[in-house]
Structure 1
């Protein structure tokens, strides 16, 4: 029998993905466990294995196709017990089901999606009757006029027909308002709002970038952010880091400042549990473990691998774990459980010279710590003005879940742990 291979859900939240690459071709014989495709999710590119044996008779989704919904049939396998030479059913590209009995097959079939069965009244041979405005709207929206029924004189396609087809009056308004190339209004520097004659290229968004755009927009729209900043003296932490690295050198481990800040945030969340929470409508999730999501920049955007139970891990363990997770993150090889979840996040842009910034909360988490650069500044040390290495740390808190006073307490504890860093190794 024919076996349908469907777009898999490679993570609990995955709704669609990109079929990045086929690893087989039609006619290939596969066994259970063979790799057949690479699927790109919003966070990583993952391999898809066959779970049945047989011959690949149809690849229904071309490689590189975006927005393939979970559950969509992407290929057909002919089971080994069947006649593998039988031609696949071309009339049913989305399901390899047996033909219906004659009495049932007499029911009217749905119209094909891609090509009209009969030539519409607005088509005359290869010529389509449409108003110039309707043609411009269709071209701007990527709409095929051949699939639209015209309501104008003699079946002519008019503006309203295209708008009704696309269900997008915005594109029609943009086209209608757009001036001709010879009369485009200038903004004062010869620029136009649609790019006009400015040299540019259209860059296709990756699934990761689409997800980042959607989730962070939702965060800023739905989560009331409160920002709290403290200046933290780093001299003692830097001194301890140097001593620890000297002792860890034979083991090939080199601690970064960020490794130590991850540990400090984990401990602070355990000491101030009111900040180790998630807002859940009528409920609050109170976490007893601090899992820290660490922002890592990758070529396609940003991903946050997780250091689980950061408060109870040694600095050397955190360091080796982060190095390994960050490396696989940049290769797109993280598993969903390694970047989904977490109770709070840390984002460090100090290595790029950023003095201070306010990070956007990553729901359902309720806080994120933004770390700025450590720099020499005038600072009061033992009641006297001195020069110290100081960084600014800004906590972003979900005010629905965390009161300002509790956020301030977390920042206070974090500052103390960094300025008296022996607590990180105790």
Structure 2
């Protein structure tokens, strides 16, 4: 049957987007997983892949069209042997495909088109199905039925180790959406072939950071309130789903350089020389002490570890990449001590004599 290709939702808040580019044209053969278009939102431009196979019967939305609503039909895909292009008519029901593209295939008439000759007797007019296009490859239900799910639902399901075939969709036409995946529970008795790895053991709140080599007397544990839990969840989703980019600013550091000159003059008798980097390490440590929320770690299960000391890691370039040795208790150390320790750490890092921490 003819398949409608719909405008996908690329984020939970997306309502419309721009069809930036078509990678196919009418008459092209489409295979599952093939990139067919590029969709642009206010956050990113993403390639979308076809879930179904067939031949492009008609493109309904022009390349470059703006304000295309989510779930709007943007193209029609014909299965093998089909020659008529059908889509829902404006007044409901089925009729010849109509859309933003005025040229191209023959114009739609108000009367139903005459079916083309078919080798099978009593051939009925093709019905119209729905097809998802997604940035991720789609799966299949048992029996070969396509799983209809939004791109975000697919990503969350993959992160949670959920089988989309076992989830009922509550979106349009039974489509699986974000809330369906979030409300789904992992199967209690998965088969051996699909059994997921055992979940991590419950966090020991008596010593939750033991695995990271952090002594228990160096932090305090407190229970997070509901607002903090929700904020943590939303920030994690944002970091995972939304593209990030760095920002650079120029700083006037005349006062810092003057301060460094005076420090080095006083430390000259000890043979020490403080760098700008050493001063930044100390400043970062003092800032962490001044803002305890920034000097904290999230513990699975809804708890927060508030660190009593400020440890600062510093990137050191070595052959083959970067390593980040840690200046511990930087808030309690002087600039000369930090300078000497940093020189020692950098030398050991380049000689590959540092132990992982």
TM-score, structure 2 normalization? 0.35
TM-score, structure 1 normalization? 0.30
* More relative contact order, 1 or 2 (CA 8 Å, 6+ apart): 1
